[in-house]
């Protein structure tokens, strides 16, 4: 927990019993699950920022079926490639949610240190309770309570961020890995919702202060036999609000589903 800094004054912490205390005497208790809540009240946009409980429950259930395991393993593989030669790197999973990807990356790169932050207290509580070896923190991706130039590798899967904060956090010549939906991602779900389906626009992202060094497409097909797994996949996405009851019932009446997964993985190096 010593890697985090005070969100109010940016001073370093000392741990006293179960409390992190900075030199200006700001106190933050470590929750019983083991995480820190470093999201100041004034930084909250709502009482419980982040995804709602239903969406998070669906995501947990779906991820537990290993539907996105190929993505997690690919990100871990790329992370290992770019950390080759680094003895004990500090990795940050920005917008880590319930810690699914954080944990798999940690399993694949045990010699490095990884921490996860997310604005959702519910998600972080779950992550800290399930993955005891990882430091988790409730915080905003726009004001990360970590020192400047402290991160060797940042992972950003579907999470919003701002370039200035990425530049502040990542060490010189170190790396950012991003994941976004590629054109065919979940095409079969969109086909059920819209009369005319357009592919996702292919994002060729530019991040100020970084140079793109690699772009990888990961595509595979999900074979789904369980209506519950399909419902969880739908409910963890914004498509949950797009389905009419009739269209959802029609989709669920099928005996089997093949759903395309299509991800765009990009690696950026800080200039």
Beta bridge partners of 14: 21
Residue 50 has pLDDT above 70, yes or no: no
Query: What is the token pair recorded at 161?
Result: 């961020």
Residue 45 has pLDDT above 60, yes or no: no
Pairing of the two strands 113-118 and 90-94 = parallel
Q: Over range 95-100, report the average pLDDT.
A: 96
- Lowest-confidence segment of 90-94, 190-194, 229-233 by average pLDDT: 190-194
Model confidence at 143, pLDDT cuts 50, 70, 90, reads very high
> Each residue of 235-263: b (16+ CB within 10 Å) or e?
bbbebeeebeeeebeebeeeeebebbbbb
The pLDDT, as a whole number, for residue 268 is 97
Between residues 117 and 50, the one the model is more confident about: 117
Which helix (H) or strand (E) is 212 found in, with range?
strand 210-224
The pLDDT, as a whole number, for residue 1 is 62
Residue 199 has pLDDT above 80, yes or no: no
Residue 167 has pLDDT above 90, yes or no: yes
Residue 269 has pLDDT above 90, yes or no: yes
Model confidence at 40, pLDDT cuts 50, 70, 90, reads confident
Q: Find all residues with CB under 8 Å of 171, minimum gap 6, and list them.
A: 149, 150, 151, 152, 270
Torsion angle, CA of 158/105/68/53, rounded to 10 degrees? -60
Task: State the DSSP code for 206.
Answer: -
Q: Over range 79-92, report the average pLDDT.
A: 95
CB atoms within 10 A of CB 223: 9
Chain mean pLDDT for the chain: 92
Q: Find all residues with CB under 8 Å of 264, minimum gap 6, and list them.
A: 179, 180, 181, 182, 202, 203, 215, 216, 217
Contact 115, 92 (CB under 8 A): yes
Rounded to whole angstroms, the Cα distance separating 149 from 37 reads: 22
CB atoms within 10 A of CB 79: 22
For the ranges 53-62, 199-208, 236-245, 261-270, the maximum mean pLDDT occurs at 261-270
CATH label, 48-270, candidates 3.40.640.10, 3.30.70.270, 3.40.50.720, 3.40.50.150 = 3.40.50.150
Between residues 200 and 121, the one the model is more confident about: 121
Could you tell me the residue ranges of all domains in the chain?
48-270
Q: Find all residues with CB under 8 Å of 185, minimum gap 6, and list them.
A: 200, 260, 261, 262, 263
The pLDDT, as a whole number, for residue 111 is 95
**Per-residue pLDDT reduced to its tens digit, 171-195:** 999 999 999 999 999 999 999 888 7
Q: Over range 133-139, report the average pLDDT.
A: 96
The pLDDT, as a whole number, for residue 63 is 95
Task: State the DSSP code for 265.
Answer: E
Q: From residue 100, how far is each of 85, 116, 270 by CA, in Å? A: 26, 10, 26
């Amino acid at each position: 927990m010593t890697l985090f800094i005070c969100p109010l004054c940016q001073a370093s912490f000392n741990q006293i019993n179960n409390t992190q205390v900075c030199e200006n005497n700001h106190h933050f208790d470590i929750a019983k699950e083991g995480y820190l809540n470093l999201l100041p009240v004034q930084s909250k946009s709502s009482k419980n920022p982040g995804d709602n409980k239903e969406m998070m429950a669906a995501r947990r259930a779906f991820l537990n079926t290993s539907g996105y395991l190929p993505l997690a393993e690919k990100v871990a593989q790329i992370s290992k490639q770019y950390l080759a030669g680094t003895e004990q790197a500090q990795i940050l999973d920005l917008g880590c949610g319930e810690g699914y990807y954080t944990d798999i990356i940690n399993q694949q790169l045990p010699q490095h240190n990884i921490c996860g932050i997310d604005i959702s207290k519910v998600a972080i509580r779950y992550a800290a309770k399930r993955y005891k070896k990882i430091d988790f923190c409730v915080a905003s991706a726009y004001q990360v309570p970590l020192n400047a130039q402290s991160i060797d590798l940042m992972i950003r899967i579907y999470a919003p961020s701002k370039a200035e904060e990425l530049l502040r956090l990542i060490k010189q010549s170190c790396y950012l890995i991003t994941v976004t939906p590629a054109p065919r991602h979940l095409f079969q779900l969109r086909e059920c919702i819209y009369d005319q389906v357009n592919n996702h626009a292919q994002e060729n992202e530019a991040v100020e202060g970084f140079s793109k060094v690699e772009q990888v497409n990961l595509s595979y097909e999900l074979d789904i036999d369980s209506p519950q797994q399909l419902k969880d996949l739908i409910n963890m996405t914004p498509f949950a609000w797009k389905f009419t009851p009739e269209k959802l019932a029609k989709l669920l009446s099928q005996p089997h589903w093949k759903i395309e997964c299509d991800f765009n993985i990009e690696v950026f190096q800080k200039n």
